[in-house]
């Protein structure tokens, strides 16, 4: 029977968002960062500026609008909150519409059925694809992925399938109906929105109609929003008319820096005697004003995350990012940024433009993230490692990326082995870099004091970002910590394809550590010191796809190697015997506990080690939960490092030099039993390396005690058959290490079977016990099995007298796991 390790499988993962955490410093919230295209957009929009928070309606109960006909969110919307309409042909939609919002008896109608609403209709027809047709059949009569559908039964060979979905925002309501009839797909989109000059506030009740809003010219609007200096400067420079596209009849969108930010920028430019930034080819001035303007009316709630907006300057774009905040913070549900510059107020309509204000200036972007790293003198090591691991290509592509870049000084903080491996781009250097990278644009705006923001890197591991609270008298911005290890020194350095942040410490990850670093972290001090003293520690770091069985400090402290390490460390340098000892603890390939099975494994030293599995369960003897390597027990395991795995042993491994017969011949204390083996003609069996055996050997003094007491006849007086039977009773065709013998009581008695057919009961009191004999010396390892010394002769019992206790399957043993026994 093939015995394998008993593994506990963890399927899937769980993430919790916006869970309050009560600590000494007050309350905070855990928030998983979710790209906006996967987020549910709340109802409501900001028209003028940040709202103080949700305002409950009269009566103190906040209404949550819901209407069967006005169902929320289009599946194709940039930020959907999907809910599909199910047709009710028996009653008709008007039956439900007559009740208005949620709750029967509510006569209020939704705002988009009221006055000052303009309607646009768009129709399209295509041929349904084969996949869409399959989905239609699969959806018949059921709900899939949150989709409720209406299917009409076939009538005269015709088939019709329809899906209705709606999206509602404060000033817009879009419904899309898709009808698949006999392979032809028709799409009808109906958009209802407040007409120009009308609008609704972000916290408006669902029935509040579109009301006339006060629309001013762009200069007055900018002044009201605290951004008039930019407009005045553009007018003085003669660019305001071009900026607003006057004469074209088209609306524009302006991203205006606040007065304070623009004045600081303008003062810095005047100091350098530069009013405008020159473009890359130095031949044509680049308009800083047009850099803040986009053609068309761009409402932020309609813009998906990572959307690039073309400015009025050729080849210059604005990247819009949106970050959802937990409602419990009492802040606006979303934060927006333009090229990682925070957007302060948004969606304010003026006569000539839709206006958003910024907490900073937009700068021209001409370099990708990798180009920026190449130009920084304090990032030379990071540049080298990125290029050696070919991850630089990702930072030069078009897909959005975020990288937290350690400075050269941060690399100097590393442990020497890790620093060397990183600089050379060897081992798992790429994993360490991926621990610093995200496949999205993560601006510092996404972090909020009092909330914990989580983003997942390219390894799929979470990065926890905490922004500290800024004291009232503090002038510098609050700091951001990553995993409570690294601090962001410079934030939001924007490139054409993403953003980089400068950090002061490299973010560690165990999956990328060199093996010697992991060994050190696991407090395997003596084994690590032996590696260093031998001069072969670099070779160990270069190993890949290996399993290392490292003895604990307790296992090594009384060995000859530990003595030499303490008294004569110089003799260990490039010591070939020590190298063989170390390599004998390394096996290829990488084997985690869930993949363990009983077998011989080749080591880097050349000789094999024998892996055995045992069960410590009295009842479930087939559940393997203890493992041994050459009878050394695994006491801790599955520490991964750079494509390899580390397991810890309770004793060091020494390559066996002799088979069982030669072990007998080499020990004078076994001479009497050896004589019996020879008389029984079993020497060839014990010298055969093709099988594995456990030999139970009484020492000479055991035979002498029997002879003096007269309890039994001398072996020489026995018949040949009795002699052979007696010797075979002491041989088991399996490897039964002492670690695999556990205390047992009736009815859970265990036994092993000798090659003579005897069932030998095994248990453990003070020491392991096999039938009537106690084991006085365990696990003498040979090339073809093991040898146990016992303090008694196991005498064959008559067949009728033999009970048949619970047998351990061949090779049945135990399995390791540090504290794995406690698990069961």
**Model confidence over 320-340: pLDDT tens digits?**
999 988 887 778 888 999 999
pLDDT at position 596 over 60: yes
Of residues 617 and 157, more confidence is placed in: 617
Does this model's pTM top 0.75?
A: no
Q: Stretch 358-379: mean pLDDT, rounded?
A: 95
**182: number of Cβ within 10 Å:** 10
Most confident range (mean pLDDT) of 415-419, 439-443, 767-771 is 439-443
Q: What is the largest CA-CA distance in the chain?
A: 125
Q: Stretch 490-495: mean pLDDT, rounded?
A: 96
pLDDT at 796: 60
pLDDT at position 251 over 70: yes
**In this structure, are strands 451-456 and 26-32 parallel, antiparallel, or unpaired?**
parallel
**Range with the poorest average pLDDT among 66-70, 295-299, 371-375, 777-781:** 66-70
Percent of the chain with pLDDT over 70: 73
pLDDT at position 19 over 70: no
Angle between the N-to-C axes of helices 576-583 and 525-534, in degrees from 0 to 180, rounded to the nearest 10: 140
pLDDT at position 611 over 80: yes
Tell me whether the omega of the peptide bond preceding residue 577 falls within 30 degrees of 0, making it cis: no
First-to-last C-alpha distance (Å) of the chain: 22
Percent of the chain with pLDDT over 90: 44
Count how many Cα atoms sit within 13 Å of the Cα of residue 195 in the half-sphere of its side chain: 9
Residue 109: partners with Cβ closer than 8 Å, 6 or more residues away: 100, 207
pLDDT at 22: 35
> Which of 595, 599, 596, 621 minimizes the C-alpha distance to 608?
599
Q: Stretch 437-458: mean pLDDT, rounded?
A: 91
Domains parsed from the chain with CATH numbers = 110-125+159-212 (no CATH), 214-270+288-358 (2.30.180.10), 376-469+476-509 (2.30.180.10), 513-649 (2.30.180.10), 660-790 (2.30.180.10)
Q: Are 395 and 497 in contact (CB under 8 A)?
A: yes
The two structure tokens encoding residue 59: 């009566």
Confidence of residue 401 (pLDDT cuts 50, 70, 90): very high
Of residues 259 and 282, more confidence is placed in: 259
Confidence of residue 471 (pLDDT cuts 50, 70, 90): low
Mean pLDDT (the chain) is 78
pLDDT at position 789 over 80: yes
pLDDT at position 419 over 50: yes
Q: Stretch 546-556: mean pLDDT, rounded?
A: 95
Paired with 628 in beta bridges are: 612, 633
Q: Stretch 550-577: mean pLDDT, rounded?
A: 94
pLDDT at position 817 over 50: no
pLDDT at 278: 45
d(C-alpha 695, C-alpha 661), whole Å: 10
Q: Stretch 282-296: mean pLDDT, rounded?
A: 80
Q: Stretch 217-232: mean pLDDT, rounded?
A: 94
pLDDT at position 494 over 60: yes
Q: What is the Cα 159 distance to its own chain's centre?
A: 46
d(C-alpha 477, C-alpha 661), whole Å: 77
Residue 590: partners with Cβ closer than 8 Å, 6 or more residues away: 545, 546, 547, 643, 644, 645
pLDDT at 262: 94
């Amino acid at each position: 029977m093939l015995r394998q390790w008993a593994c506990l499988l963890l399927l899937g993962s769980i993430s919790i968002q916006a869970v309050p955490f009560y600590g000494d410093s007050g309350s905070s919230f855990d928030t998983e960062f979710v790209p906006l295209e996967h987020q549910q957009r709340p109802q409501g929009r900001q028209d003028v500026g940040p709202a103080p928070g949700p305002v409950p309606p009269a009566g103190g109960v906040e209404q949550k609008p819901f209407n069967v006909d006005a169902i929320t969110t289009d599946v194709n919307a940039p930020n959907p909150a999907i809910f599909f309409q199910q047709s009710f042909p028996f009653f008709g939609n008007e039956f439900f519409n007559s009740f208005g919002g949620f709750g029967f008896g509510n006569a209020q109608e939704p705002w988009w059925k009221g006055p000052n609403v303009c309607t646009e209709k768009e129709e399209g027809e295509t041929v349904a694809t084969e996949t869409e047709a399959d989905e239609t059949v699969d959806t018949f009569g059921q709900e899939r992925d949150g989709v409720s559908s209406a299917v009409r039964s076939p009538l005269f060979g015709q088939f019709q399938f329809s899906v209705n979905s709606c999206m509602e925002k404060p000033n817009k309501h879009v419904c899309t109906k898709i009808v698949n009839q006999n392979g032809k797909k028709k799409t009808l989109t109906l958009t209802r929105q407040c007409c120009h000059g009308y609008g609704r506030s972000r916290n408006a009740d669902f029935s509040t109609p579109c009301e006339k809003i006060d629309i001013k010219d762009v200069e007055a609007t900018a002044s009201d929003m605290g951004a008039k200096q930019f407009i005045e400067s553009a007018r003085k420079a003669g660019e305001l008319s071009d900026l607003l596209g006057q004469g074209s009849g088209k609306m524009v969108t302006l991203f205006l820096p606040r007065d304070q930010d623009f004045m600081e920028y303008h003062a810095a430019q005047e100091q350098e005697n530069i009013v405008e930034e020159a473009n890359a080819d130095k031949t044509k001035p680049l308009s800083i004003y047009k850099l803040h303007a986009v053609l068309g009316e761009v409402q932020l709630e309609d813009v998906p995350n990572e959307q690039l907006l073309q400015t009025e300057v050729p080849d210059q774009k604005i990247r819009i990012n949106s970050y959802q905040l937990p409602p419990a913070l009492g802040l606006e549900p979303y934060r927006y940024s333009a090229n990682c510059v925070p957007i302060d107020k948004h969606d304010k309509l003026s006569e000539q433009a839709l206006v958003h204000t910024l907490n900073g200036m937009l700068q021209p972007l001409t370099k990708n993230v990798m180009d920026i790293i190449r130009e920084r003198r304090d990032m030379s090591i990071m540049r080298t490692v990125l290029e050696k691991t070919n991850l630089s290509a990702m930072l030069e592509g078009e897909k959005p990326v975020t990288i937290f870049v350690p400075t050269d000084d941060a690399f100097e903080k590393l442990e020497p082995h890790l620093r060397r491996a990183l600089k050379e781009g060897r081992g798992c250097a790429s994993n360490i870099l991926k621990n610093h990278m995200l496949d999205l644009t993560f601006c510092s705006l996404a972090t909020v004091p009092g909330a914990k923001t989580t983003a997942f890197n390219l390894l799929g591991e979470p990065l926890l970002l905490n922004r500290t609270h800024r004291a009232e008298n503090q002038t510098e911005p609050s700091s951001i910590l990553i995993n409570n290890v690294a601090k962001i020194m410079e934030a939001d350095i924007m490139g054409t394809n993403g953003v980089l942040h400068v950090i002061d410490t490299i973010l560690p990850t165990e999956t990328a550590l060199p093996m010697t670093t992991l060994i050190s972290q696991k407090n395997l001090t003596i084994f690590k010191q032996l590696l260093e003293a031998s001069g072969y520690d670099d070779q160990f770091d270069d190993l890949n796809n290996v399993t290392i069985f490292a003895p604990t400090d307790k296992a090594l402290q009384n060995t000859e190697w530990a003595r030499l390490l303490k008294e004569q460390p110089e003799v260990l340098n490039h010591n070939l015997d020590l190298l063989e000892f170390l390599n004998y603890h390394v096996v290829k390939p990488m084997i985690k506990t869930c993949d363990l099975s009983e077998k011989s494994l080749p080591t880097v030293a050349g000789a094999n080690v024998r892996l055995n599995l045992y069960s410590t369960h009295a009842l479930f003897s087939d559940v393997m939960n203890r493992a041994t390597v050459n009878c050394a027990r695994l006491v801790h395991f599955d520490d991964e490092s750079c494509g390899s795995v580390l397991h810890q042993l309770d004793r060091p491994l020494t390559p066996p030099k002799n088979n069982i017969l030669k072990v007998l011949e080499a020990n004078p204390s076994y001479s009497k039993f050896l004589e019996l083996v020879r008389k029984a003609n079993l020497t060839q069996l014990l010298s055969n390396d093709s099988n594995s055996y456990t030999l139970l050997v009484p020492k000479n003094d055991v035979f002498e005690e029997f002879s003096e007491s007269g309890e039994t006849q001398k072996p020489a007086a026995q018949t040949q058959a009795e002699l052979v039977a007696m010797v075979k009773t002491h041989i088991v065709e399996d490897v039964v290490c002492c670690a695999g013998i556990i205390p047992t009581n009736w009815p859970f008695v265990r036994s092993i079977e000798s090659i003579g057919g005897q069932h030998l009961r095994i248990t453990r009191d003070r020491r392991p016990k096999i039938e009537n004999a106690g084991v006085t010396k365990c696990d003498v390892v040979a090339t073809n099995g093991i040898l146990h010394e016992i303090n008694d002769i196991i005498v064959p019992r008559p067949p009728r007298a033999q009970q048949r206790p619970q047998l351990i399957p061949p090779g049945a043993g135990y399995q390791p796991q540090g504290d794995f026994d406690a698990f069961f």
